[in-house]
Amino acid sequence: MTLSQRRDNGTDRRLRLLVGLVVVAAAVVVVVAAHAALTSPLPTRLTGPTAMIMLTFMIAVGTLVKARVRIRSTTHSISWNETALVIALILAPTPWVVLCTAVGVALASLQLPFIKLVFGVGKNVLMAAGAGATLAAISGDGPAGGPWDLVPPLAVIYLVAVLLDEALGIPVIALASGTRVSQQFRSNLDLRLAGYAVRFVVATGTLLILEADSRLLLAIPPLMLSLHLAYTARIRQRTEQQAWQRLAQTTDALNVVELDDVLTTAVTQAAELFSADEVEIELRDGGRTVRGGAGGVIAYDGPAGPPTTVSGAVVPARLEGHDESVDVGVLRLRFHGPVQLSERERYTLHTFASALCTAVRNAQAYAELARVAEAHAYAAAHDALTGLANRRRLLDEGNEQLSNRHADGVTALVLIDLNHFKEVNDTLGHAAGDQVLIQVADRLRDTARNGDLVARLGGDEFAVLLRGLPAPAVAAPRAEALLTALHEPFDIDGMRISVEASGGIATAPTTGGMAELLRRADVAMYQAKRAGQRISTYASARDTADLGRLTLCGDLPRAVADHEFTVNFQPIVDLGTGEVTAAEALARWHHPQHGRIDPLRFLEAVERSGLLPAFAEAILDQALVAAGSWRDAGFDVPVAVNVSPRSLLDARFPGAVLARLRAHDLPPDRLVLELTETLTLSQLDVVDQVLSQLRDAGVRLALDDFGTGYSSLSLLSRIPVHELKIDRSFVTAMESSAEAAAVIRSTLDLGRSLGLTVVAEGVEREAQRRALWELGCTSGQGHLFARPVPAGTLLATLRRGTGGRPGTLAAPLHDAGAVVRLTQGRRQGGRADRHLPA
């Protein structure tokens, strides 16, 4: 038996005990009253059995005229019986009134269940006896004097009747409805007091009319009916108002995001809202069933929970949306006894079920979003094949570890590479290779200590971040244990395969962060491979890396913070007119100690340092500021900025670019992002998405160094570019190399067929300019027009112009209106002569 069942059984026992006490006491009173009535004369004010029948009829009518209020599964009534009782007590002796009360209430309650009938009779008998005893105590044989002398004793006995009614009725209602006595007493107290006052006035008026002229009693029934209807309407209005307030509070309480909280709240709130003894919610998705009451959830099961203990009326409601297109389950209200919901209650139930449907769907959607977000977060930090940490997570946790000044012990990194793993893929296939990688990951994970991070960097390369080492020398035996775990052969589809591995160890450097630690471990690993050893520890003396580049890596954070990087601009001109059509931004670094540093050196260092986003934003900001200053001066010149392939791996890159454009109030088409032709990363979906977002936003894309790599055409089919830039090596060799000229000619033909702008780089001589123009190339850049200069210098050059024409850097190839005979490559549609503007 559950706690709730024991609680319900205890309540029922107390209720039966209280009702039994009332009935027993009333029975004793009836016996005493019957004996007294048989030994006393008939009433003095009324005579004969007819008078007793009239009194009985009056009490029965007072009991039948009720204002009904449903509390939980029981309908309770507020009647006029205390009014009839006090009138009868003034007109007749108490014993006769007690007997008439017992008979009248019993006749009026014949349609009620037996327990309600006997309790109603007992309560009213005790009320009549108590009020009669009070009247006898204060008036002796009855009130004497004029009509108004009846009012004081009437008020006293009416008060006694009311107090007995409240004292006997409220505890029983509280036990039956499962509420506290104090709460039940306060419920609608103002309406009850107003009703008592009105009924006292009616009782007083009735007695005064009887004393004055009994014919005036004809006015009493209409008055009582009007007052009863007004009182009933007031009770109904108050009940409706409270019901809507509870509905609003209940639906508000459903606005939580966790499904368990939604179901628990719905069960408890519905039990209160509909006064149900038990509420059950069954969801179709997942087959979950939640059951409980106002005291909380008592069962939380799958599709087949324990059977309910509430036998009686069941009111179901489908959990569906307002348009009835979605059905997530069913809500059931259970009552111990028979219940018939009113029209308002049925509408309230429908509204609650619809709100619960919405809350369940919202909670399910939130759970799905949380699951997807968790899955994405996991996928972003883990290798899909092995489940190990990936490079990103290794770098993030490693940088956090190295930046933690309070971290205990020494941090080291072991880099492990499988030797000749390509032979496994080539011989047995990639499926077998994947199985080997999975088993390698499992062995490394099992061998690593708690606190160590095992990661797969890609391909057959693994790394283990060792944290909290007592001394640097401890890293070597820990790495040896990791490699030893890979010594035993692997069982792949019944075949035993031995895989050798090489490892490199490096301890945390003082500068450079995790990127430098990874580089040192990589150097140590290749030292082991070259020496034919299984494992090697990093030694700076054997590091063949450029020490100057390492110095630059250490200086990069300061350089970015102190804005040491500047931007020069090389204009792009119309080869025919000499007009400036764009300008390419070129990063420069003037080192405080080393002077001007070659861009190829520091750009590689920037990409390896982890400072690429800050560096790219600084360069982009300077380029956009320059473009804005040119536009304000009357030269609307787009600016081209080179983009690192690593930036295109960042899904946040498009948002950052568009934010900078908005900050500088420049249209997106005033920015050209130049992509390197060697962008093999374009095979990654994230790169395609980044480039598509930028192009859709209006940013122009250019493919730089076109023609220098084997993958030019395949890249062009994937990357949605607007421009092609011919590498300077072809322009330099075009006059002496037929192959170079052929590449330029085919690139121009390709650009025309795809509707792309083609820009030639490295134009240094007038002959090259003319030859390119005659081949159909309209744009070019190079030292012939201008070297890279600061933004202010370029603006001054634009203002000065050439030949009195601001915005130009070279004289036009032909005067306006001149007739020019084009080469065969420039002819279109069979026309050889064309008038070209200057």
Separation of first and last alpha carbons in the chain = 100
Helical ranges in 448-577 per DSSP H: 475-484, 513-531, 547-561
Cα distance between residue 675 and residue 702, in whole Å: 6
Handedness of CA 76, 78, 82, 87 (dihedral sign): negative
Block means of pLDDT (10 residues each) for the chain, length 838 residues? 47 76 84 78 56 72 61 51 72 80 81 81 83 78 57 79 80 72 69 66 66 51 55 60 68 77 82 79 78 72 64 81 72 79 78 82 84 84 91 90 82 90 76 91 92 90 92 89 90 82 88 85 84 83 56 72 86 94 91 76 69 85 94 94 81 90 93 71 63 91 71 64 88 86 89 91 93 92 93 93 90 69 46 33
Q: Position of tokens 């084997």?
A: 710
Sequence-ordered strand ranges (E) for 39-127: 66-71, 74-79
The residue among 107, 106, 98 whose CA lies nearest residue 125 is 98
**Could you tell me which of 741, 712, 706 has the C-alpha nearest to residue 724?**
706
Query: Is the CB of residue 706 less than 8 Å from the CB of residue 747?
Result: yes
Tokens of 93: 């002796």
**Token pair of 22, please?**
């009332």
Domain boundaries, the chain: 3-242, 254-370, 391-545, 564-835
Q: Which CATH superfamily is domain 564-835 in?
A: EAL domain (3.20.20.450)
Question: Do 765 and 746 contact (CB within 8 A), yes or no?
Answer: no
Least Cα distance to 407 among 397, 415, 417, 416 occurs for 397
- Evaluate whether 203 touches 87 at the Cβ level (below 8 Å): yes
Q: Determine the pLDDT at residue 821.
A: 54
Query: Residue 465's beta-bridge partner residues?
Result: 413, 453
> Among residues 34, 50, 147, 36, which one has the least CA distance to residue 90?
147
Going by the DSSP 8-state scheme, the letter that residue 307 receives in this structure is P
Superfamily classification of domain 391-545: Reverse transcriptase/Diguanylate cyclase domain (3.30.70.270)
> What's the burial of 736, exposed, middle or buried (CB within 10 Å: 0-12/13-18/19+)?
exposed
SS3 at position 345: helix
Closest CA to 125 of 153, 163, 174, 164: 164
Query: Which CATH fold would you assign to the domain 254-370?
Result: Beta-Lactamase (3.30.450)
Check if 3-242 and 564-835 are the same fold: no
CB 88 within 8 A of CB 61: no
Residue 796 structure tokens: 């001054």
**pLDDT value, residue 232:** 59
Backbone angles phi, psi at 69, to 5 degrees: -135, 125
Q: Where are the alpha helices (DSSP H) in 532-632?
A: 547-561, 599-609, 612-632
In this prediction the pTM is 0.40
3-class secondary-structure state, position 461 = strand
CA atoms within 13 A on the CB side of 364: 13
* One-letter amino acid of 536: S
* Per-residue pLDDT, 715: 63
Return d(Cα 120, Cα 43) in angstroms, integer.
25
Environment class of 371 (CB within 10 Å of its CB; exposed 0-12, middle 13-18, buried 19+):
exposed
301: tokens are 């099961």
Cβ-proximal residues to 512 (8 Å cutoff; 6+ apart), any chain: 519, 550, 553, 554, 609
Check residue 278 and give its pLDDT. Answer: 85
Quick check: 440 and 383 in contact, CB under 8 A? Answer: no
Class of domain 3-242: mainly alpha
Cα angle vertex 161, ends 159, 165, to 5°?
115
Contact 279, 308 (CB under 8 A): no
Report CA-CA distances (Å) from 105 to 24, 80, 119, 509, 717.
16, 11, 10, 98, 95
Task: Report helix, strand or coil for 62.
Answer: helix
Distances in Å between the alpha carbon of 235 and those of 197, 198, 216, 418?
15, 14, 30, 85
DSSP assignment string, 219-233: GHHHHHHHHHHHHHH
Task: Tell me the C-alpha distance between 599 and 646, whole Å.
Answer: 17
